[in-house]
Amino acid sequence: MGVSKITYFFFLIYHNEEALTYYLRNSFKASMNVDWAEKYRPKRLNDVVGNPTATKELRDWAETWERGTPKKKAVVLVGDPGVGKTSSALALAREFGWGIVELNASDLRNADAIRKVATSGALNETFTDSGEFVSTRHGGRKLIILDEADNIFGKEDYGGIQAIVMTIRETLQPIILIVNDYYALVRRSPALKSMCHTIRFSGIHKSSVIKLLRTICQNEDITVSNETLNALAEHSSGDLRSAINDLESLSLGKRKISEKDVTVLGFRDYRINIFKALTGIFRTTSYNRALESAYNLNEDPEHLLLWIDENLPLEYKKHEDLASAYYSLSRASIFLGRVRIRQHYKLWGYANDLMTAGVAVSKTSSMRGYTKYQFPSWLTKMSQTRGIRTLQKSLNEKLSSHYHTSRYVAQIEMFPYFRYLFENEKDFNIYAIRDLDLDSEEIAYILGEETDSPTVKHLLEKSKDLDKKKKEEKPQLTGSEKGKKEQDKGRKMRDTEDIDAKKAQDLRQKNLSDF
Amino acid sequence: MFKAKIKAETLKEVVDVISALVDEAKFNITSDGVSLRAVDPAHVAMLDLALQKKGFEEFKAKECELGIDIDKLKDVLKLAGAGDILDLEHDEDKNKLILDVGNITRRMALVDTAGMSDPKVPNLNLPAKLIVNTNELRRGLRAAEAVSDHVALIASSDSFEMVSEGDTDSVNLKLPKALLKELDCKENQKSLFSLDYFSTMVKAIGSTPEVTMYIGTDYPINLEFDIAEGNGHVKYLLAPRIESE
């Protein structure tokens, strides 16, 4: 009884299905029992509840392996939690008599670990868990299952995705990747898109959920009314595993479950992806519903704002709607800016309301049809221009520290003139290169040339020659020049610059008069 | 119940054999000794190990199972010097293994054995049997590792051969019957294996001078050798590489 109370308690706190499953599984192991979701896992593909098309596709793929190594050596099973992806993969292996090698989120999945387990598994014949030897020569296979493959990231899983791509390329055994978020997987490795056959699993229909729950109740000798089952199924919103878990946690220590018990469950916290959140915001006029779409989204507000910004014009067609929605969005952006500047995260709440509910209630007519949402182009462009922006930044830094001004002023006010002088004024460029210590890339950027163009090379060489000449001249510095040098040195210390004082002086003498 | 004393060297032999394939293992303990069977995570190789009571300095036990993290055991062994004797005791209440090395006591949490498989050793009927010098085998593998990641083991009626072919180079080790302690092979047998597995296994053989091999055609290899001065016996099974069509 102790176990059940603790489990139930944890459930109430977290409403988190993964934690619950884990908790249940572990506590039941102790009492030599398995949780129902495990106990009632389908043994054969035909027993998998729901998704008949997907399971058929999976079987068809498995059959291609019976005739040798097929073109698509891996499949990706995509779908929300609890709709039968892992169950189908396991049932498939059992039905075909294949061995199973499983790597899930609790295992270390960096490049090394994946090579060690998945790659070696993929290239060699198999001993099953029970110790049987299965050979591909007699149709025996080993199914390599990478569960939660969209969660392979971070420091500890470094290089994992690349190792998976390599494994799929080389494998002589079937591989199944299981993901909730297809987009999160292929974003990390677009190559996977073409290498794998994708099979989508959808939420399980309420009637199927009820049917299975009823079978379980009969087996476990639990009395339950149709209304209760209906409420449980409703509550699970297509997530069969959570429905079974709910049923199990409600029935602990009881023989009868009433409809009232179900209300204890509260709201299930389920994570949704960005596309669903966008639909939720764009297609509703309800303040609360729009807000909720963002609650369950695991994406920070700044990102969500960009997504809404990108896709708003694809959805809202009326000009007035669009204007009003963008007004809300811009107000949200102001709040996000304040969060950033003041580090006052309470303001996120306002930003959230404005960008979700504000956008949702801005429309006067409802939208229909399918819209393909786009990835924020601002992010794409920023990442494409990263190289040129770092170049600009370093150039502006050099300019600003040389001319004792901010980087912003250097960029906006000085750079155009600087560029003009650089291109047109005789010898200005050679001195500028030496004194600002410009490299070939920066010169190329100023002149709009290629890094290895003859002009760039020529200029660089000339400025180097200048250095040589300077060295020869150095011993003949006159007294007055020395004085100036010292003066400059003082200034240099004040400004904590690292520019050679001599160079600064030279540039001032020869060029700054041009300004 | 489990209470024993064991030489650090003996335990190290055991640990080396196990860690070649798995990080965690379930030790089955009876009043006669310890045994262990495991399949590696990639389901490519299998291990069957038995250590008799005589392999221990002292041994008192009733039937039980201990799930042990092999890396932890390695850590403890690093503390032991040559000739040290380790005290092992299972604390059933706390489910811990208590190890004494010199004046150090390590209380080691055990791993849950519920999820660990209990494989049976398959009956493979491998047609060729030969006994090879371990050092000879090691040298051959070292040469093979330089050119490729797999190796073919070939047994015929008058010799044993190991052939490794890389993209540009190849290596082959040929031992005629005269150099083998035993060779029992009627028809030619040939199987291909991943070098990383095979050489890890051969490395784990330790100081045992000879190893018995059973080979078939496109079938697993069975490597057998003694440990703990003949008081323990190890059987490694390695599944062959799939030769691409």
The architecture of the domain spanning B128-238 is: Box (3.70)
Q: Is A466 left (phi over 0), alpha (psi -120 to 50) or beta?
A: alpha
One-letter amino acid of A80: D
Averaged pLDDT for residues A375-383: 82
Q: Residue A20: what pLDDT?
A: 43
Q: Is the pLDDT of residue A29 over 70?
A: no
Q: Residue A75: what pLDDT?
A: 92
Q: Residue A106: what pLDDT?
A: 72
Here the tokens at position B43 are 């389901």
Who among B194, B239, B244 is closest to A133 (CB)?
A: B239
pLDDT in tens, A56-110: 999 999 888 888 788 888 999 998 888 889 999 999 988 888 888 888 777 777 7
CB A303 within 8 A of CB A354: no
Question: Mapping DSSP to helix (H, G, I), strand (E, B) and coil, where does residue A42 land?
Answer: coil
pLDDT in tens, A170-216: 888 899 999 888 887 887 788 888 888 999 988 888 888 888 888 88
Query: Measured between alpha carbons, how far is residue B161 from residues A29, A125, A269 in Å?
Result: 49, 22, 62
Is the Cβ pair A131, B122 closer than 8 Å? Answer: yes
Q: Is the pLDDT of residue A486 over 50?
A: no
**Mutate which of B37, B44, B238 to disrupt the A interface (most A C-beta within 10 Å)?**
B44
pLDDT band at residue A498 using 50, 70 and 90 as cut-offs: very low
Q: Residue A224: what pLDDT?
A: 84
- Smallest CA-to-CA distance from A86 within A145, A140, A18, A167 is with A145
Who among A99, A121, A133 is closest to B122 (CB)?
A: A133
Q: Which residues of A touch B (CB under 8 A)?
A: 29, 68-69, 99-101, 116-118, 120-121, 123-133, 135-137, 142, 172-173
**CATH code given to domain A206-263:** 1.10.8.60
Task: Flag the least confident range among A20-29, A221-230, B96-105, B205-214.
Answer: A20-29
Who among A69, A127, A173 is closest to B39 (CB)?
A: A127
- HEC secondary structure over B99-131: EEECCEEEEEECCCCCCCCCCCCCCCCCCEEEE
Q: Residue A387: what pLDDT?
A: 81
How many CB contacts within 8 angstroms connect chain A with chain B?
A: 87
Q: Where are the domains of chain B?
A: 2-109, 128-238
Is the Cβ pair A127, B122 closer than 8 Å? Answer: yes
**Mutate which of A38, A65, A109, A133 to disrupt the B interface (most B C-beta within 10 Å)?**
A133
**Mutate which of B23, B43, B126, B244 to disrupt the A interface (most A C-beta within 10 Å)?**
B43
Residue with tokens 């270390």: A108
For chain B, the C-alpha Rg in angstroms (whole number) is 19
ipTM value, please give it.
0.79
Residues of B in contact with A124 (CB under 8 A): 42, 44, 194, 197, 239-242
Is the Cβ pair A137, B237 closer than 8 Å? Answer: no
Q: Where are the domains of chain A?
A: 5-200, 206-263, 274-383, 386-476
pLDDT band at residue A230 using 50, 70 and 90 as cut-offs: confident
Q: Is the pLDDT of residue A506 over 70?
A: no
Q: Residue A176: what pLDDT?
A: 92
Q: Is the pLDDT of residue A1 over 70?
A: no
Q: Is the pLDDT of residue A478 over 80?
A: no
Please report, rounded to a whole number, the percentage of residues in chain A having pLDDT higher than 70.
82
Quick one: which H or E segment has residue A274? helix A274-282
Residues of A in contact with B43 (CB under 8 A): 99-101, 121, 126-129, 142
Provide the residue-wise pLDDT of chain B in tens; the chain has 245 residues. 899 999 998 999 999 999 999 988 999 999 999 999 999 888 999 999 999 999 899 999 899 889 999 999 999 998 888 888 999 999 888 889 999 988 889 999 898 887 787 888 888 888 899 999 999 899 999 999 999 989 999 999 889 999 999 888 999 999 998 888 888 888 899 999 999 899 999 998 888 889 999 999 989 999 999 988 889 999 999 999 987 65
- Smallest CA-to-CA distance from B195 within B154, B225, B240 is with B240
Q: Residue A495: what pLDDT?
A: 47
Who among A99, A123, A128 is closest to B242 (CB)?
A: A123
- Pick the residue from chain B with its C-alpha nearest to A70: B245
Averaged pLDDT for residues A112-140: 82
Q: Residue B180: what pLDDT?
A: 86
Q: Rounded to 5 degrees, what angle do the CA atoms A120, A110, B41 make? A: 40
Here the tokens at position B171 are 């290596």
Q: Is the pLDDT of residue A13 over 60?
A: no
What is residue A58's DSSP assignment?
Answer: H
Domain A5-200 is found in CATH 3.40.50.300: yes
Q: Are strands A223-224 and B58-61 parallel, antiparallel or unpaired?
A: unpaired
- Pick the residue from chain A with its C-alpha nearest to B48: A131
**Please, is A448 exposed, middle or buried when counting C-beta atoms within 10 Å of its C-beta (0-12, 13-18, 19+)?**
exposed
Here the tokens at position A450 are 């290629």
Q: Is the pLDDT of residue A392 over 50?
A: yes
**Mutate which of A35, A127, A171, A173 to disrupt the B interface (most B C-beta within 10 Å)?**
A127
Q: Residue B213: what pLDDT?
A: 92
Who among B42, B112, B114 is closest to A120 (CB)?
A: B42
Who among B114, B119, B218 is closest to A131 (CB)?
A: B119
Q: Is the pLDDT of residue A223 over 90?
A: no
Chain-wide mean pLDDT for chain A? 79
Kindly report the nearest CA distance between residue B200 and chain A, in angstroms.
13
Kindly report the nearest CA distance between residue B178 and chain A, in angstroms.
33
Q: Is the pLDDT of residue A149 over 90?
A: no
Task: Flag the least confident range among A297-306, A391-400, A471-480.
Answer: A471-480
pLDDT band at residue A500 using 50, 70 and 90 as cut-offs: low
Q: What is the pTM of this model?
A: 0.62
Residue with tokens 């047994």: B155
- Pick the residue from chain B with its C-alpha nearest to A144: B42
Task: Flag the least confident range among A116-125, A268-277, A366-375, B117-126.
Answer: A268-277
CATH superfamily ID and name for B2-109: DNA Polymerase III, subunit A, domain 2 (3.10.150.10)
Range from A41-55, A101-115, A484-498 that averages highest in pLDDT: A41-55
pLDDT band at residue A515 using 50, 70 and 90 as cut-offs: very low
Position with higher pLDDT, A290 vs A255: A290
Residue with tokens 């300095």: B57
- Pick the residue from chain A with its C-alpha nearest to B195: A120
pLDDT in tens, A308-357: 999 999 888 889 999 999 999 999 999 999 998 998 889 988 999 999 99
**Please, is B94 exposed, middle or buried when counting C-beta atoms within 10 Å of its C-beta (0-12, 13-18, 19+)?**
exposed
Q: Residue A503: what pLDDT?
A: 54
